[in-house]
Amino acid sequence: MKIFLTEVEAYGQTFQGPNIVAETLEKAERAAKHNYLVIVGELDSIYVDGDDETHLNIIDKDPSGRTVH
């Protein structure tokens, strides 16, 4: 399973949306469409370094706006 990050527009602003957990990008896109969300990336990992600072790493999008796999 993969974790897809989303955003949603409301009140004239863009907000972080809920994560979608799905086997493929295609399934996640269908779920996003039905819930008025936009997929903005895929969660790659979360790690904690020696100073206990949490860092989020997401897979960068290509210029077309699609997630690079």
* Cα–Cα distance, 54 to 57 (Å, whole number): 10
pLDDT band per the 50, 70, 90 thresholds, residue 45? confident
pTM assigned to the model: 0.66
Average pLDDT of span 45-57 = 63
Where does 1-69 have alpha helices with state H?
Answer: 25-34
Query: What pLDDT is recorded for position 69?
Result: 46
| C-alpha atoms less than 13 angstroms from C-alpha of 2 in its C-beta half-sphere | 19
Closest by CA to 7, choosing from 44, 46, 30, 35, is 35
